[in-house]
Amino acid sequence: MLASNGVPPSLCPVMSFDSQCQLSNQLLFPSTLNYGFVKVTRKVKVSRLKVNFWESIRSGFLKDNTTQVIEESPTLEEEEEPMLEEFVLIERTQQDGEIEQIIFSSGGDVDIYDLQALCDKVGWPRRPLSKLAAALKNSYMVATLHSVRRAPGSEGIDEKKLIGMARATSDHAFNATIWDVLVDPSYQGQGLGKALVEKIVRALLQRDIGNITLFADSQVVEFYRNLGFQPDPEGIKVDALQAVRRKLKDSMKNLNNWKKTDPCVSNWTGVICTLDSNDGFLHVQELRFLNMNLSGTLSPELGQLSHMTILDVMWNNISGSIPKEIGNLASLNLLLLSGNQLSGSLPDELGFLSNLTIFNLEGNYISGPLPKSFANLKHAKHFHLNNNNISGQIPPELYNLPQLVHFLLDNNNLSGYLPAELSKMPNLKILQLDNNNFQGTGIPVSYSNMSKLMKLSLRNCNLQGEIPDLSSIPGLLFLDLSSNQLNGSIPTNKLSENITTIDLSNNKLIGPIPSNFSGLPRLQRLSLENNSLSGDVPSNIWQNINFTATATLTLDFQNNFLTNISGSLNPPSNVSIRLEGNPVCSRANELNVIQFCGLNAGDDEIYGRSNDSTTVTCQTQSCPVFNNFEYVPESPVPCYCAAPLGVGLLLRSPSISNFRPYTDRYQAYLTSSLSLDLYQLSIGSFIWQKGPRLRIFVKFFPQQSNSTNTFNKSEIQRLRDMIATFSLPSNDIFGPYQLLNFTLLGPYADVVLDPLKSGMSKGAVIGIVLGSLSCAIAISLIIAFLFYKRNRRYKHHEVPKKQPSAKIPIKTESVKGFGFIELDEATSGFSVTTQVGQGGYGKVYKGILANGTVVAIKRAQQGSLQGQKEFLTEIELLSRLHHRNLVSLVGYCDEESEQMLVYEFMPHGSLQDLLNVPNVRGVMGHVSTVVKGTPGYLDPEYFLTHMLTEKSDVYSLGIVFLELLTGMQPISHGRNIVREVNAACQSGLMSNIIDKNMGPYSLDCLKRFMTLALKCCEDKKEARPSMLEVVRELENISSILPPPEPDMIPTESDVSVSSEMSGIFASSSSLYSRGNLYAASAGLPEVGSDLVSGVIPIIRPR
């Protein structure tokens, strides 16, 4: 296709996004020429096909055009003598007698100024005149259309104007390419564009060029379709995907196999194709880019993949706007864009997606109004557009969506009023509009007519007026109208017996608590706090509830005007009652309700783990846990060892408040939906997130009859595809779900699913390792810096070079004391063949313990040894340090003058191996890979964005600071340390939560450290300081520490907290200019100085 001097650039580039010419390789053929062109590949066939071509031209050209064609039919003999052509294509007489002729020429001269004027009319960007001249000069053929006008009786030409041009390049053999095809807009609609292309094709065929390609960009594909040409799906498929690839940035190299081959035959990553029996072509049906750490933008060429049914780019970092061309995908069923950085407005063209069923857009930056055109999406079932910046009025026209089930628009900037018309949606089950601003309007009374509604959540929407009577909704499970300005009394009619959650808190409700809240057998939470309710506290709400071991009921009546108890308040242990802030608590002793009047009486469910356990004792060495095998908890065969698949799921809008009583039901729902046996599913852990939403980690186990104790590839593929394509049946209790991760480890690490890559890529591992290093280094530097300051300011004992061989027991259950012989055998005598690393501290060895566990053993060299008590105290500290990016400490050894630490082994190789991957630059920005983390330490924004940044490490460090301050665990019995500390600070009770085992400290340092810790734990990452700011603030705190009393200098027999370490408690400083976190902290009462700590040692930095 290339001439000797190369293909000249396009005269008028059709891509208007920049000044460069970016043409794609889409093969388009006139519909009347398709069969001939498919076969014209050799010169020997040209003559026969030329005749067929001429017949098609004669029979099809301008068939329905009334304009007279006055050219003569050429003969075969004339074709064999190719020569330049110029003839009158069309002639017509105007009413005034003026004659206009449209003249075609296959070799006439083109004035570049006329050509530039034509490009301007067409609307294509200007090119320099020299570029136009060069393109014309290097073209094999230039065909033109001129309009020639003659006045009545005139013999000469009164006006000649260039109205059309097409040009072709050729290799002067058998191949030619037609590039630019331009027609003056004022002459379009007359068949001239098609005629121009057919004439230049004919002229090329006369020169024995039988393989002709018409190149077209996405913006003119529809133009050629309108001319009667049909695109070749093979060309569109390849080149549209190449255009998509050029717009994406693939730091993890997931799309490396997107080469110039057929994407369907070559199994391009993320591309799924199907065979169309009508045309015999493989068409792109699905694009799946879930969690591939892709950035860049979405290409408009996506709109050319007309057979696509699923577009999934969830949980990446893709930015830019949503291309309006996606609206061309009439076959699209699933549009999954959640968890990216998309911005701009929603294109009206998306309303053309007539077959769309699920639209997921959660967690982006989309702004602007909700298009009224969405009312045309008659097959839509799920709108998940929450957590964006969508603004304006909800179009009332959306009521005309007959199949809509879930309507999630919470956490946006919607305004206006709540449309009463939404009650006309016949199948709506979830209406979730929390955290918008409906400008003081009320809840439409017509919402009580939503007969299929399961969940109504309108929290914090600036709603006013009275609560409508919703008792006529038979299946209502979840009602949240909290944090509005609703007034009046609570309706007295009983709600659905299926309801689990009622939250009317933080309003302006008055009157008594009605009796209709009793006798609700599935109720889990009733929240009426922060209103103006009066009268008695009901004592019969829990009646008719058959509590199981895991079922709970929380009744929150705090901060009302309740004065008495109705009957005897003696609830079962499953019931938590909160009365703090009511007058009744002033008579707590008299009414015997003191246990209900404390702060946060009763706990909310935050996270949990499965109670699965085998009923018999199984030998650990019989199950290779190091290779991701484990005993199946509920296997019918005792001690069945198998390799599970780990899957992370997010329940977007569950209709429950407590998951534990529903774990069995969820297990049954998931296994039956996936055609598995009950024992094949284990619920590993779950954690509630804001929303509320529920993140669940489950494990799927292969069948017991499986001889390999693993899933085969086809079964893995089946499970992944069913979950990823939302093929599971909907469930009213658990609501819509979302796949977060599908983890392939151990024996599945090398499984490559078609067409997706599976397992954790090297790039992802590198990102996690580097992230781990950055976090570990940051924490180590802070701790090391503080102890260095102390060691520099005060004397401490020298570390002897040799340690006694006697061991000192450590009071830590999570680590084991190993003997030297045991570790020596595990490493074959610390053989060089087992060495996997070396650093300033010493060497690291891979060892296999007697039970088969693979570990990493860090052996200190002689110059790195420290005092034995310091070493053992350091082990105690490390055993308490948990972080998602830090490996766990398994044990230690202090025999034979050795100091060794034993960690869990990371099976993905050494850091050097991981870094031996080209082009890993950029993975430090953030890690977008689903990670395993100890509940309480993980950045809350991670659950929304699936990204770990430096600010995520700041949050985890803040949790550690709060632990040091309070002695509390991050999460214990449902209590979250951040929430507890915040509540205490707001109540002026900070002194009550300071660890009583802490030694004397500076009050000023205490306040500063408390503020620093809470700043680190802000929900929004933008509100947290950077790690550098944290270090600087700690340095500032260290500089104002008062000198210790002589008896406070630590000795070997008394490892205590110095005034410096116990005084790194920050409040406000010049670093934080946004104001004090709590005004109450300024008046913090003095805390006694008789407290002693024995847990924070002086550690020699390594």
> For 898, how many CA atoms within 13 A lie in the half-sphere containing its CB?
21
d(Cα 659, Cα 689) in Å, to the nearest integer? 13
Cα→Cα distances 955→510, 884, 943, 1029, Å: 40, 12, 14, 13
Query: Which residues have a Cβ under 8 Å from the Cβ of 972 and sit 6 or more positions away?
Result: none
For residue 952, give the nearest of 961, 963, 941 by alpha carbon: 941
* Residue type (1 letter), 105: S
Sign of the dihedral defined by the CA atoms of residues 619, 620, 624, 625, in that order: positive
Name the helix (H) or strand (E) containing 213. Answer: strand 211-214
Query: Do residues 205 and 45 make contact, with C-beta atoms less than 8 angstroms apart?
Result: no
Number of H helices, E strands in the chain: 20, 49
Active site residue 845: no
- DSSP line for 568-590: -----TTEEEE-TTSGGGGGHHH
Q: What is the 3-state secondary structure (H, E, C) of 164-184?
A: EEEEEEECCCCEEEEEEEEEC
Sign of the dihedral defined by the CA atoms of residues 711, 717, 718, 719, in that order: positive
In a 3-state reduction of DSSP, which class is residue 448? helix
Per the DSSP assignment, residues forming a β-bridge with 159 are 149
Q: What's the start-to-end Cα distance of the chain, in Å?
A: 65
Q: Compute how many other C-beta atoms are within 10 angstroms of the C-beta atom of residue 532.
A: 13
CA angle in degrees (0–180, nearest 5) for 834-840-845: 15
Tabulate helix, strand, coil % of the chain (nearest 5).
Answer: 30, 20, 50
**Is residue 858 a known part of a binding site?**
yes
Query: Do residues 458 and 480 make contact, with C-beta atoms less than 8 angstroms apart?
Result: yes
Residues, the chain, total?
1102
d(Cα 256, Cα 762) in Å, to the nearest integer? 13
| Angle, helices 218-226/233-247, rounded to nearest 10 degrees | 160
Q: Compute how many other C-beta atoms are within 10 angstroms of the C-beta atom of residue 1.
A: 13
d(Cα 1084, Cα 1076) in Å, to the nearest integer? 13
Radius of gyration of the chain (CA): 37
C-alpha dihedral, 133 to 139 to 141 to 143, nearest 10°: -40
Ramachandran region, residue 530 (left: φ > 0; alpha: ψ -120 to 50; beta: rest): left
Range 519-522, long-range pairs (CB < 8 A, 24+ positions): 519/494, 519/543, 519/544, 520/494, 520/495, 520/544, 520/545, 521/497, 521/545, 521/546, 522/497, 522/498
d(Cα 975, Cα 987) in Å, to the nearest integer? 17
Token digits of residue 943: 């659950």
Burial class for 375, CB neighbours closer than 10 Å (0-12, 13-18, 19+): middle
- The catalytically annotated residue of 35, 113, 187, 224 is 224
List the binding residues. 858
| Residues acting as catalytic residues | 224
| Binding site members for ATP | 858
